[in-house]
Structure 1
Amino acid sequence: MAELRPQHRYSYRDDPSVPDFEDGGPIAVMDGECTLCSWGARMIARLDRTAAFRICPLQSATGTALARHYGLDPGDPETWLLLDEGQAWSGMDAIIRIGQRLGGVGRLASGMRVLPRPAREWVYRRIARNRYRLGRSDMCALPDPALRARLLQ
């Protein structure tokens, strides 16, 4: 798995290749064609009672530019990114942070912290590399109103 390129907080604001976007809350950049990621986006929309999270499909201009800014390959199935307060996380670390931020049942994801980081990332890579076996979907095609309100293109 590619490691995030170290950057200072909000470094993407200074990158001319990253389109301007509203970054006042956490942003999950994920595969918009993956059934598992689409389910994850809907869960974020359902569990985020404060409506703070935005969802950005990796295939969008913004998602692709953000991935590249942090040294990630937008075509790599392991690419998944969380931006929160201008800082970036990827892989299982991103999922754990989202779960903690959502609270409630979302905190179940933080149970992965019992595993050492290499083991967590191994699990993440196995899931990421096989995610299309569950099928494909288009998160942006006909999203429910809760998800549509959070989509960042």
Structure 2
Amino acid sequence: MAKREEPNSLVLIDGECNLCNGLVQFIIKRDKAGRFRFAPLQSPVGQRVLREGGMNVSDFDTFVLVESGRLYTRSAAALRIVRKLDGGWPLLYGLTVIPSALRDAVYRIVAKNRYRLFGRKDACLLPTPEVRNRFLEEER
């Protein structure tokens, strides 16, 4: 029996955040199967997804993972992503045994200080030609 292909997951990031852009590069490097696609939270695609998911369209303090129509944020999104990466990264999914309130408290501290710690871009990330097809730029 052939392995069933799962639909692509969408990762929405703050396109002006260096930490978030580094996260995208980290995921791309460890996602040889190309399961993840990306869009800035500030983009038309990101704004539409946030609106449809009932989320605040002006809050960029979290990244969002969309899988099978369901939205995940903060540590839940991060752990669901590492679960699908190549190498030993899926082992980190075991951190789900830590209560989400504690995981998300740490996440919020980093998110609140991300520009101070990692810097900020004046514009959203421009993908290289090799990975451009993994970025959603326009409404579909």
The separation in 2 between residues aligned to 1:104 and 1:139, in whole angstroms, is 29
Root-mean-square deviation (CA, aligned residues, Å) is 1.9
The separation in 2 between residues aligned to 1:127 and 1:60, in whole angstroms, is 23
2:4 aligned partner = none
Task: Please state if 1:94 is matched with 2:94.
Answer: no
1:113 partner SS: helix
Question: Residue 67 of structure 1 contacts residue 74 of structure 1 at CA under 8 Å; is this kept in 2?
Answer: yes
CA deviation vs aligned residue, 1:6-51 (integer Å, no higher than 9, x gap): xxxxxxxxxxxxxxxxxx4110011111101000111111111111
Task: Please state if 1:151 is matched with 2:102.
Answer: no
Distance 1:135 1:49, change over 3 A: same
Distance 1:132 1:119, change over 3 A: same
Equivalent of 1:140 in 112, 125, 137: 125
The 5 A counterparts of 1:118-129 are 118-129=101-112
Instruction: Please report the TM-score for the alignment, with normalisation by the length of structure 2.
Output: 0.81
CA deviation vs aligned residue, 1:108-133 (integer Å, no higher than 9, x gap): 54253242111011011111111111
Question: Residue 32 of structure 2 contacts residue 86 of structure 2 at CA under 8 Å; is this kept in 1?
Answer: no
Q: Could you list the runs of 4 or more consecutive aligned residues of structure 1 that deviate by over 3 angstroms after TM superposition? A: none
Larger mean CA deviation between 118-127 and 63-72 belongs to: 63-72
Instruction: Please report the TM-score for the alignment, with normalisation by the length of structure 1.
Output: 0.75
Task: Please state if 1:112 is matched with 2:92.
Answer: no
What is the Cα deviation at residue 69 of structure 1? 1.9
Gaps spanning 5+ residues in structure 1: where? 1-23
1:96 partner SS: helix
- What number of residue pairs does the alignment pair up? 129
1:37 aligned partner = 20
2:34 partner SS: coil
Question: Residue 41 of structure 1 contacts residue 147 of structure 1 at CA under 8 Å; is this kept in 2?
Answer: no
Question: Residue 38 of structure 2 contacts residue 134 of structure 2 at CA under 8 Å; is this kept in 1?
Answer: yes
One-letter identity of the residue aligned with 1:136 = R
